[in-house]
Chains A and B, each alone.
Chain A
Amino acid sequence: MFERMMNSKLMQGKALPVLIIVGAILAFWYVMAVQLNAPWQLGVYERAGVTEWTNSQFISDTLNQDRPVLPSVHQVAAEIWNTTVLKSPTSRRSLIYHTWITLSATLLGFTIGSILGIALAIGIVHSRAMDKSMMPWIIASQTIPILAIAPMIIVVLNAIGISGVLPKALISTYLSFFPVAVGMVKGFRSPEQIQLDLMHTYAASKTQVFMKLRWFAAMPYLFTSMKIAISISLVGAIVGELPTGAVAGLGARLLSGSYYGQTVQIWSALIMAAALAATLVSLVGIAEKIVTRKMGVRT
């Protein structure tokens, strides 16, 4: 299966450019690592009284420091390997465990956010009053920096006894309902006039127009906005873990990594977050493909 995928990609001539770019990024990363870690390494040599070193010795040392300014690729790779494959997923030292904590908040927030966004869009499309009164608030909500209100949300919810996954999920909701609401308003309004006229000649009710026309016409908009929504849900969940000094989650890993100067830990959490975002977005993409195929859209 994997080989077939690789083959077909190679056939389309996509693999080579991708490999070249990945290679270039890795090379750049190593060059930067040597450069950024060099001052510290020189200090180490000085303190140890080492005066003679070869270039390869120096480079190898800069790439294998305990607390490098910029960890090298293989250090991050080794850290990820050690904290995923070699640790039980229930252990607090497992990156899988922390990823799951963040993922659960992400998914919960994304689900609530999507439902909320769709519900708002339905209201806005069907009621002029809602269109006029809600839209400014929806847009205003997104001008408030999430970093400013995240701690308040967490603290307030903790004060009334709500803790755990829900406060973080609500921050994800706060971020993710917006693209869904805006996208779906556009989507629900996307049917052509002639299609609306057609429904009118059948004396179709508003509900029928919605269920049989608007909903399906909005499908492309739904998936586009859900791709945005799920990735910012992840951002929301991570941000929600930062201000409270949470003990678990990718955000907590970032935070404790920076407390203790564990740059390797920070970078492996970052890489994990990026991989998670990519996976989530492509899952939405797969759902889109399935739905599109079911809807008979020409491929």
Chain B
Amino acid sequence: MTNSPVISAKKLSLTFPANDGPVHALSEVDLDINEGEFVSFIGPSGCGKTTFLRVVADLETPTGGEITVNGKTPHEARMNRDYGYVFQAPALLPWRTVERNVALPLEIMGMGKAERAEHIRRTLELVNLSGFEKSFPWQLSGGMQQRASIARALAFDADLLLMDEPFGALDEIVRDHLNEQLLKLWLETKKTIAFVTHSIPEAVYLSTRIVVMSPRPGRVIDVIESTLPDERPLDIRETKEFFDIAHRVREGLKAGHSYEE
């Protein structure tokens, strides 16, 4: 069990029917993600990054191929609450305070009050939101809201975290800061993370592996192993090693692009 991949996709395809012909959002994607990996998905808009995460999360049903999550079908994994999902928008419930937003999955999963309070305290501390328990979402900045939504995904201790451009809407300073924190969190918790991004530096800085994708049809065109150590201070982004990996990602994206023309 420990050695089998957390996510395993074999010839995974998903075609959306549409008025102007079918959209091949995913085409024969082969990918294994192992326990403890931090895998980023990068690629131009419409290449199926979100679709892949949504298939893993059982929010979409594939039209071909196979996928397992923790050795189970996505449906079974969802029923078992195997993963936490962070959407592109924070999607906090506006009528709930921060702590009650974090409590939402715990309430649904039927956790007792005392245990709930302990989980909330711990996860809010993890995302540096201690002291904002009683704030309503509109009282928080965009970055804080997204942190609250990450806390909500972490609160029930799923070992797999699916994150769809969680920092896409934030400015670079906040983003740097959150990247650093996310990396720290990953090191501490040893979770498996699948992370969608549009930013090459973000992907290189965070990942142990980078999956480069290309659209029409959405497919994987390159998988790049990072040679960076697990411990990464922010200024690792000034090193040659970092630039080399970023260069490979850029080349991969270019290759995908020329294929299209």
State the A residues within 8 Å of B (CB). Answer: 192, 194-195, 197-204, 208, 212-213, 216, 219, 295-298
Excluding A194-B91, A200-B78, A296-B96, 16 further A-B contacts by CB distance (< 8 Å) are A195-B91, A197-B59, A197-B87, A201-B59, A201-B83, A202-B104, A202-B105, A202-B108, A202-B109, A203-B78, A208-B108, A212-B108, A213-B93, A219-B95, A296-B95, A297-B94
Closest to A213 in B: B93
Assembled-state Cα–Cα distance A199/B152 (Å): 12
A-B contact pairs, 12 of them (CB 8 A): A198-B87, A200-B58, A200-B78, A201-B83, A201-B85, A202-B104, A203-B81, A295-B94, A296-B94, A296-B97, A296-B136, A298-B138
Assembled-state Cα–Cα distance A192/B78 (Å): 20
Assembled-state Cα–Cα distance A198/B81 (Å): 12
Assembled-state Cα–Cα distance A296/B87 (Å): 23
Q: Given A197-B87, A198-B87, A212-B104: A203 and B79 within 8 A (CB)? A: yes
Check if B78 sits within 8 Å of A216, measured CB to CB. no
Assembled-state Cα–Cα distance A219/B104 (Å): 19
**Secondary structure at chain B's binding surface: helix, strand, loop or mixed?**
loop
For window 55-99 of B, CB contacts with A under 8 Å fall at 57-59, 78-79, 81, 83-85, 87, 89, 91, 93-97
Closest to B96 in A: A296
Q: Given A200-B59, A202-B108, A296-B136: A195 and B78 within 8 A (CB)? A: no
Question: B244 within 8 Å of A by Cβ?
Answer: no
Q: Residues of A contacting B93 with CB < 8 Å?
A: 195, 212-213, 216
Assembled-state Cα–Cα distance A234/B206 (Å): 64
Check if B85 sits within 8 Å of A198, measured CB to CB. yes
Q: Residues of A contacting B104 with CB < 8 Å?
A: 202, 212
* CB proximity of B31 to chain A, nearest CB, Å: 21
Q: Residues of B contacting A297 with CB < 8 Å?
A: 94-95
Contact partner of A212 (CB less than 8 A), chosen from B78, B91, B107, is B107
Assembled-state Cα–Cα distance A201/B105 (Å): 9
Which among A195, A212, A216, A296 has the greatest number of chain B C-beta atoms within 10 A?
A296
Check if A202 sits within 8 Å of B81, measured CB to CB. yes
Assembled-state Cα–Cα distance A153/B126 (Å): 64
State the B residues within 8 Å of A (CB). Answer: 57-59, 78-79, 81, 83-85, 87, 89, 91, 93-97, 104-105, 107-109, 136, 138
Closest 6 A/B residue pairs (Cβ): A295-B95, A296-B136, A201-B85, A194-B91, A202-B108, A204-B108
Q: Residues of A contacting B85 with CB < 8 Å?
A: 197-198, 201
Assembled-state Cα–Cα distance A213/B101 (Å): 11
Q: Residues of A contacting B91 with CB < 8 Å?
A: 192, 194-195, 198
Q: Residues of A contacting B78 with CB < 8 Å?
A: 200-201, 203
Q: Residues of B contacting A216 with CB < 8 Å?
A: 93, 95
Q: Residues of A contacting B136 with CB < 8 Å?
A: 296, 298
Which among B59, B87, B93 has the greatest number of chain A C-beta atoms within 10 A?
B93
* CB proximity of A54 to chain B, nearest CB, Å: 67
Closest to A208 in B: B108
Which among A194, A201, A219 has the greatest number of chain B C-beta atoms within 10 A?
A201
Q: Given A201-B78, A296-B136: A194 and B108 within 8 A (CB)? A: no
Closest to A292 in B: B95
Assembled-state Cα–Cα distance A199/B105 (Å): 8
Assembled-state Cα–Cα distance A212/B78 (Å): 19
Assembled-state Cα–Cα distance A195/B108 (Å): 14
Assembled-state Cα–Cα distance A208/B108 (Å): 7
Q: Residues of A contacting B89 with CB < 8 Å?
A: 194
Q: Residues of B contacting A192 with CB < 8 Å?
A: 91
* CB proximity of B122 to chain A, nearest CB, Å: 19
Q: Residues of B contacting A197 with CB < 8 Å?
A: 59, 85, 87
Check if B57 sits within 8 Å of A201, measured CB to CB. yes
* CB proximity of B189 to chain A, nearest CB, Å: 19
* CB proximity of A5 to chain B, nearest CB, Å: 28
* CB proximity of A271 to chain B, nearest CB, Å: 39
Assembled-state Cα–Cα distance A203/B74 (Å): 12
Which among B58, B83, B94, B95 has the greatest number of chain A C-beta atoms within 10 A?
B95
Closest to A298 in B: B138
Assembled-state Cα–Cα distance A245/B161 (Å): 71
* CB proximity of A294 to chain B, nearest CB, Å: 8
* CB proximity of A102 to chain B, nearest CB, Å: 36
Assembled-state Cα–Cα distance A295/B101 (Å): 13
Closest to B83 in A: A201
* CB proximity of B239 to chain A, nearest CB, Å: 37
Q: Residues of A contacting B96 with CB < 8 Å?
A: 296
Which among A198, A204, A216 has the greatest number of chain B C-beta atoms within 10 A?
A198
